[in-house]
Structure 1
Amino acid sequence: MNYAVLLFPDFSMILCGWLLCRYTALNRRVWEPVESLVYYFLFPVLLFHSIVKSPIQLDADASLVLGGLLMTVVGVLLTHALPWLMRWWPGTREGFSARDHAASAQVAFRFNSFIALGLAERLATQGQDGRGPLLMALLIGVCVPLVNVAAVWPMARHAGRGVLRELVRNPLIIATVSGLACNLLGLRVPDWIAPSLSRIGAASLALGLMAAGAGMQFGTLARSKALAAGVLTVRHLLLPLVALGLCITLRLDTVQAATLLLFSALPTASSAYVLAARMGYNGALVASMVTLSTALGVLSLPYALSLQRHFL
């Protein structure tokens, strides 16, 4: 599988946003309203529709669900341990701040749902078990609420806002929790409105990625090299190893193991930038990390699958 080809559409949208903002009249004043549109309307609709449209059967794949949740929890814990771990490495505290860590921590454990589903579909068309897309949708459905809560929590706390109030009002959490509830209750989107929701989802992907590119400032990333290295190491190196251990411990079958390992090595969510920017944090730093994570996915995805070939 050519992962570079699979990741190119996301990377090209980020690059397009950066070029438009930097070299045309479509500057930051144009992109700020776009960020609000994506964050408060387009992306919540996309999340809700993505979760509702695929029936979730928790009883059939309980071990996979447990593996996805445990891996996510470990990713959150590892990321929040970075300030302590950095104390042991000379020079790593330079340019490091609690606010930057709160904003960028989400990069380590959030994931790009579009790439996840694209990978699952690609594997299914290459003759592997057709359960792949459904299993990936199941992981997305159960993990999205958890990662969104984990992303909002530190930023709300460091901003001195009521954490519970921020969680309850967060549009991404509202969309994912309501989508999961509807799925488990057996409610489905009517056929006549599904095409409109699909088009809204496509718009949110393109605009969200372009907004991330428009917000990039690589000088900000250069001042936070240690933080970026730590967060991306967790995302692309350590989480696949955690997933491998869970595959062995939970005795997942071949397709379940492949799904969890691919899930563990995904590039981070493009909406991470929008969330950080809308909550008043360093969006430029997060946007730069999103771009690097997308590029690193070309390496981490084959790395994760190689772990299955060699150890399972």
Structure 2
Amino acid sequence: MNYAQLLLPDFSLILCGYLICRYTALNRSVWQPVESLVYYLLFPVLLFQSIMKSPVDLSAASGLIAAGVLSGLAGIGLAYSLPRWPWLGRRIDARDHAASAQVAFRFNSFIGLALAERLAGPQGLLLIAVLIGVCVPMFNVAAVWPMARAGQHGFLRELVRNPLIVATVSGLVANLLGFRIPDWLNPAVSRISAASLALGLMAAGAGMQFGLLTRSKLLSVAVLSIRHLVQPLIALAMALLFRLDPVQTTVLLAFSALPTASTCYVLAARMGYNGPYVAGLVTLSTVLGVVSLPFALGVLR
């Protein structure tokens, strides 16, 4: 399978968003409200619908869930430990680390959902939706914690206000309780979900910034190496450890090699940190995804 060709539609939308924002009148003043619309409404609806669409068999997916959670915890531990590395810790600014640690373990769900369906059809979409449902709350807790602690923010308040956590937790609870979206509401929800993928990818491109990538070079290299090199290797080890089947292994490897979440810089800026620096990391991570996804899916798999 030509994974570079498989990734082309998603990264074309990202490039389209970047070019439109940079070279037309549809500049950042237009795309900032679009980002808010996607983050607070469209994408939570997509997550909720993806989780609610099919019954979740937790026993069948338990190995995949355990592998995804342990891979994520390993990434979180590595990101948190960077200031304690003897050759690196002295050169890391504490506030930059608090804002950028999330880049090492968060993931771009827009790309993940779009890619999983092309890789493994409806089964792949359901599996990655389950991973998203389990991991997004954990990763968002891990992303908010360093910034809340360093910036004197209310930790629980930030979690309760996070729309991704609200959507995924409520979707999982509703699914496990046997609720379903009514048939008369499904067409509207499906249209909102479809719009969220295209707009989300284009908004990710419009948000790309290269200007501050020279800041904290060692920290930047460290968090991006964890995201794009170490995480896929950990995921491969977990797939072997839990003896995942080929479809689950493919989904886990794709999940581990995704670019970081485009909302990293939104969260950092909203909590009073250096948003443009984190936006630079998100930009470079998006570019590196063109390499890390074929590496994980083509080489490791």
* TM exceeding 0.5: yes
Q: Between Structure 1 and Structure 2, how many residues are aligned?
A: 301
Distance in 2 between the 1:222 and 1:257 partners? 36
Residue 202, structure 1, aligned to residue 194, structure 2? yes
Choose 11-20 or 72-81, whichever is displaced more: 11-20
Cα 1:45–1:58 change in 2 (3 A) is same
Task: Check the 8 A contact 2:103/2:260 in 1, yes or no.
Answer: yes
Q: Aligned with 1:187: secondary structure?
A: coil
Cα 1:203–1:289 change in 2 (3 A) is farther
Alignment of 1:249-260 (within 5 A): 249-260=241-252
Task: Check the 8 A contact 1:6/1:115 in 2, yes or no.
Answer: no
Cα 1:264–1:200 change in 2 (3 A) is same
Deviation, 1:58, is 0.6
Distance in 1 between the 2:60 and 2:180 partners? 20
Residues 171-224 of structure 1: CA deviation (Å, up to 9, x unaligned): 221111111111111211122222222322333334444444444331211223
Deviation, 1:254, is 3.0
Deviation, 1:72, is 0.8
Amino acid at match of 1:69: V
Tell me the residue number matched to 2:48: 48
Tell me the residue number matched to 2:78: 78
Amino acid at match of 2:167: A
Residue 271, structure 1, aligned to residue 270, structure 2? no
Distance in 2 between the 1:15 and 1:120 partners? 20
Distance in 1 between the 2:150 and 2:2 partners? 41
Task: Check the 8 A contact 1:244/1:307 in 2, yes or no.
Answer: no
Alignment of 1:293-304 (within 5 A): 293-304=285-296
Task: Check the 8 A contact 1:120/1:133 in 2, yes or no.
Answer: yes
Task: Check the 8 A contact 1:10/1:294 in 2, yes or no.
Answer: no
Task: Check the 8 A contact 1:36/1:278 in 2, yes or no.
Answer: no
Tell me the residue number matched to 1:262: 254
Tell me the residue number matched to 2:225: 233
Residue 59, structure 1, aligned to residue 90, structure 2? no
Deviation, 1:150, is 1.6
Q: Where does structure 2 lack aligned partners over 5 or more consecutive residues?
A: none
Distance in 2 between the 1:275 and 1:198 partners? 27
Identity level (%): 68
Distance in 1 between the 2:32 and 2:118 partners? 35
Task: Check the 8 A contact 1:213/1:287 in 2, yes or no.
Answer: no
Distance in 1 between the 2:250 and 2:290 partners? 16
Across the aligned residues of Structure 1 and Structure 2, the Cα RMSD in angstroms comes to: 2.6
Amino acid at match of 1:97: D
Task: Check the 8 A contact 1:269/1:290 in 2, yes or no.
Answer: yes
Tell me the residue number matched to 1:174: 166
| TM value normalised by structure 2 | 0.87
Distance in 2 between the 1:298 and 1:247 partners? 22
Alignment of 1:61-210 (within 5 A): 61-85=61-85, 87-89=86-88, 93=91, 96-124=92-120, 131-210=123-202
Tell me the residue number matched to 1:291: 283
Distance in 2 between the 1:287 and 1:22 partners? 15
